[in-house]
Structure 1
Amino acid sequence: MSKRRKRKPKHFRGVYALLVFPFAEDFHLLLDLMRRFSAAVRYAYNRLLEGKGREELKRQDDLLCTFFRLNTRHADDAVLKAQAVLDSARERGEDPRKVVFGGRKLFETLRRRHLSGKPLKELKREWKEKRQGLLYSRGDRTKGGNLNLRLEAEDGALWLRVNLGNGRYAWALVKTSHPNLSALVERVHASLPYNVELSLKDGKVHATFTWEEEPTPLAATKENGVLGIDVNSDPYHLALAVVGPDGNLKRHLTLSLEEVDRAPNRGTKELLLWKIAHQVVSLAEEHGVAVATERLKHLPKGRRGDGSGRAFRRKQHRFAYASLLRKVHSLARKKGVQVVEVNPQDTSAIGMLKYAPLLSLSKDVAAAYVIGRRALGFKEKLPKGYGKLLRDERFRDHAQGFYASRVRELQAKRAQEQNPYLRRRLSREIGEAKRHLSLLSSLQGSPGSQREVTDGRNSPGVNPWRVLRVGTFLPLLGREVPRDLSPLKVFLHRGAWEGWRESRGPHPGGGPKRANVHFG
């Protein structure tokens, strides 16, 4: 059976603009077309769920053309948008039958019926715009650009001609200062295809013009090394590590993201993120290396009442990880810089346990270093000192005793706590302590517990990096995510439990005296 051929990634550029209508009649005619097109998308979506095909739906005698009064090309574009929504729902693992056009969040807010007056009126307006304010037309080279939504350049101005059907057109002035505007105008003069999507927001029509471009030839590849990137929420910054092709660290630095957090609005935040993306890609170009990042799809943001605390949830919600990496990836590809994504499993743990104490790096730079090495294909061997520590029964007994005592202490606190939110937090901490205790217990006699290499996949048996993290950070250093990791050097060099006791003794937060233990 032949393997499925991997699709080449497509590279798009775009322009965002506001449409200004010289004649009010054109504006209202366009709104009516957008309302009919939006309804046609919902109709096509339901027919696709029933198993109907694209060719059947876009026929001239089908309801998409007759009932919604759309030409065959508009009808076909409605089917394409519906298919895109269906594919997206399936890729996310959601039930396609439960898709809400207009947004589930708005729908649930309206269904609660807890608003009245002006807030309710504004919410209904927003819901109506999202449900009825869509029009899309794909570009076509054979039609000289775009048949239904065509751009015309006249006297230094850019106009959008909207095909209303039956030989009628509506005209709108395209108002924008987007940096890709000149490239769009060039495509208009060259009669090259471009896609157009119109959307309604706050009573105004906005246009997004996109087109596909040939990818820029790669000038900076991982053959010369990589720039490992790790984004951190506390402190809010970007850690960068330039890794040579031999796996050695050549340079490292951090870029603060606090200015992004202080941005007064979303537009300013986006500009700052693009500025940082340019700095990152410029650094990769300077060294002639590829960009390496973790491959993360979803980050839990937490919710009110989960017991994690307001300050922690704020840090998570401000975390612009996905947005920043999308910008870095997009800009890197345009600049001819190769992008490599790696499995994120255990990158932070390996960085903190191995390279932070060994090279005197911060935990974040150490994680970026591990990401870079993984992108180059290097395996992370467990240092001999750590292997010796894992085999030391006294170390395991100390760590197990710590977590067993921790569980009893937290259970006693939960029994006396009246606040339901604090009880929930204590329950979460008890569950975490029990999982750590189980992990340490399973280390003994496990055939996979002494595996010395991790490539981001689950090892047979116990993962030694996770056991080390559980057994050293909280019981010995007093924090789940410690800042100072230099005390671990004694294990890297000596490996024996006596090495720790001779150097400084158990941490005051470890063992039976746990007054200084902190989670976080």
Structure 2
Amino acid sequence: MRITRRLVIDIPKHSRLEELDDLMRVFCSSKRHAFKRLLNGEKKGNLIKKVNVTFHLNKRYAEDAVMQAEQIIQSQKELLPYQIENVEAKIEKTDKKIEDYTTGKKRPKKSPLSLVIKGLTSRLNKLNEKRNHFVQCVEKNTIPSVIFGGKKNFYARMKGKISNQEWKDLRSNMLYARGDKAKNGNLNTRIVYEEKENQFYIEIANPLLGDGSTKKAPRLRYKIHIPEKYFEEIVNVVMPDVAGYTPKNKVKYKYKPYSIEIKRKNGCYYIHLTYDKEFRGSEVKGRVPLDAAITSGIDVNIDLVTVCLVNRQGNLLNHKTFYCHEMEYVSSNRRTNIAGELAKEIIDFLLEQNAGAISLEDIKLKQDHDTNKRTNRLLHSFAKNKLQSAIISRGLKNGFKIKKVNPAYTSVIARFKYKDMYGMSTHEAASFVIARRGLGLDEKIPTYLLEYVQRIVKIHVKSALGSMEETEKGTEREKIREKKLQAVLTNIKNFKKNHRWKLWSVIHKTLEYNNQGIKLKEV
């Protein structure tokens, strides 16, 4: 598993390292140059040679610049299907809002109705244009426009909120050098230890300072600060091992391959050190079930994480809830800290309970954005991903077997089947379902619920369909609703032939469960 740790170049804050800045500027220019040429179809091999000569960089820097440009293009292409899906979800939600306001189902609280509809229509047109642009990118095998330096900063420069120099600094604030096992570590940047001073330094090859008289580029050298909690781990990575001796009895050193990215931000120079780390734990892939004596299921939410422990037979042993309400409103850096602290608490609890495996939901990058800023923030999946990634990383480090399971209907099953049975909250019951799913156990539908669906839900759906047939020709939305209701009836009729999730889907769409018991939803 690849790990990234952040170090800092030890200089007075807001001081500028001119030689390093110049190298960053050239490297970023070469990356943008490579990006444009790759989009125009130029071959990678020829481009590396051109970048090498044009920007006076050594071959390795040229390869890294072209590789980074290639990765940007590849990542943008991979994101396109998700972007189209997200935009279409927004279009559907906006379309529904317009219809609700037009038909009188909803009324605006503050603004006039005409103004609200005008605003929503304008939003809908923009979303349609955005979707069409993404679709064209897929059809033409290209990508949306990329702004180096950031879209927000680009518009800030257009409005005169930042100076031209500030904009240029934002576009030339990084340097990357990859490690290579075949080349004995990282040739362009290396972290070294000075025994006399008891100090670590970073050495950076700078071809721009060379006069061409030698193949080796002059090296920049700066003191660095290593965080205390990662000190031992990082020292083991950067310090070389003795590989043998030369015929002249000189020591031959073997360096571990690690990649370094240097970024300048808010007057500080940060070093992102990335390397491979072997863990005692492992991830279980495919349909292979977990086989630990005690398995934990973890349900991750924006404000709390619930943990449930089960035995091999899927019986409940213990459960606990960990709260993290700050995740709803704090900054990104603070969220990262909270995620790490919470992951430590959870793993310590699992170690105390002698758990051997962890089952989590396989969270997908899918958003359900609305026009409400607070709702968007709460529904955003990146915070959940931070929590889950922190739990997985610490779990692997401590020797747990980890399996990601399909999250389909975990909350529905929890609500209708296990919530009252064990006297748990919905989230705690959901973590119980996740643990059982990690063990490969199936969730049968309770008899009373099956009878309720057959007797009451079936009649309820048929009644809704009958009332639709009596009305005049409906809108497109009503036609879609009619198809969905027909599908519900088909799933009820063929529930023995279909997968159980089909009927759980029917229950999710037609029923709700609260303190008063089971109630029918409006369908």
- TM superposition score normalised by structure 1: 0.72
Paired with 1:364 and 1:346, the residues of 2 have a C-alpha distance of 12
Moved more, 31-40 or 446-455: 446-455
Q: Which residue of 1 aligns with 2:26?
A: 36
Change in CA separation of 1:388 and 1:301 when aligned onto 2, cut-off 3 Å: closer
Paired with 1:41 and 1:147, the residues of 2 have a C-alpha distance of 19
Identity of aligned residues (%): 24
- Tell me if the contact between 1:362 and 1:483 (Cα under 8 Å) persists in the aligned partners: no
Report how far residue 53 of structure 1 moved.
4.3
Q: 1:63 aligns with which of 23, 36, 50?
A: 50
| Structure 2 residue 77 is the aligned partner of structure 1 residue 90 | yes
Change in CA separation of 1:55 and 1:216 when aligned onto 2, cut-off 3 Å: farther
Paired with 1:79 and 1:389, the residues of 2 have a C-alpha distance of 62
Paired with 1:389 and 1:103, the residues of 2 have a C-alpha distance of 58
Q: Which residue of 1 aligns with 2:337?
A: 271
Report how far residue 223 of structure 1 moved.
1.0
Paired with 1:351 and 1:376, the residues of 2 have a C-alpha distance of 16
Aligned-partner residue type, residue 53 of structure 2: T
- Tell me if the contact between 1:261 and 1:318 (Cα under 8 Å) persists in the aligned partners: no
- Tell me if the contact between 2:309 and 2:355 (Cα under 8 Å) persists in the aligned partners: no
| Structure 2 residue 180 is the aligned partner of structure 1 residue 135 | no
Q: Which residue of 1 aligns with 2:507?
A: 468
Aligned-partner residue type, residue 341 of structure 1: K
| Structure 2 residue 431 is the aligned partner of structure 1 residue 368 | yes
Structure 2 unaligned runs (5+)?
82-136, 211-216, 241-254
| Structure 2 residue 311 is the aligned partner of structure 1 residue 281 | no
Report how far residue 277 of structure 1 moved.
0.8
The higher relative CO (CA closer than 8 Å, separation ≥ 6) is in 2
Report how far residue 51 of structure 1 moved.
4.3
- TM superposition score normalised by structure 2: 0.72
| Structure 2 residue 269 is the aligned partner of structure 1 residue 209 | no
Report how far residue 289 of structure 1 moved.
2.5
Q: Which residue of 2 aligns with 1:418?
A: none
CA shift digits 1:197-218 (9 cap, x unpaired): 0112123322111111233255
Structure 1 unaligned runs (5+)?
1-10, 409-426, 457-462, 474-481, 489-506, 512-516
Paired with 1:145 and 1:445, the residues of 2 have a C-alpha distance of 61
Paired with 1:103 and 1:434, the residues of 2 have a C-alpha distance of 46
- Tell me if the contact between 1:404 and 1:437 (Cα under 8 Å) persists in the aligned partners: no
| Structure 2 residue 248 is the aligned partner of structure 1 residue 258 | no
Q: 1:222 aligns with which of 290, 295, 298?
A: 290
Moved more, 367-376 or 394-403: 394-403
CA shift digits 1:116-160 (9 cap, x unpaired): 4xxx117x6664344211211112345553221122211221111
Q: Which residue of 2 aligns with 1:334?
A: 397
Aligned-partner residue type, residue 132 of structure 1: S
**What SS class does the counterpart of residue 411 from structure 2 fall into?**
helix
Q: 2:489 aligns with which of 433, 444, 451?
A: 444
Change in CA separation of 1:380 and 1:401 when aligned onto 2, cut-off 3 Å: same
Q: Which residue of 2 aligns with 1:160?
A: 202
CA shift digits 1:12-45 (9 cap, x unpaired): 23321222459x9992121111111112122223
Aligned-partner residue type, residue 411 of structure 2: S
**What SS class does the counterpart of residue 87 from structure 1 fall into?**
helix
Pairs within 5 Å for 1:275-354: 275-285=341-351, 286-300=353-367, 302-304=369-371, 309=372, 311-317=374-380, 320-354=383-417
Q: Which residue of 2 aligns with 1:5?
A: none
- Tell me if the contact between 2:308 and 2:320 (Cα under 8 Å) persists in the aligned partners: yes
Report how far residue 86 of structure 1 moved.
2.5
Change in CA separation of 1:41 and 1:445 when aligned onto 2, cut-off 3 Å: closer
Q: 1:106 aligns with which of 152, 168, 174?
A: 152
Report how far residue 100 of structure 1 moved.
1.1
Report how far residue 106 of structure 1 moved.
2.2
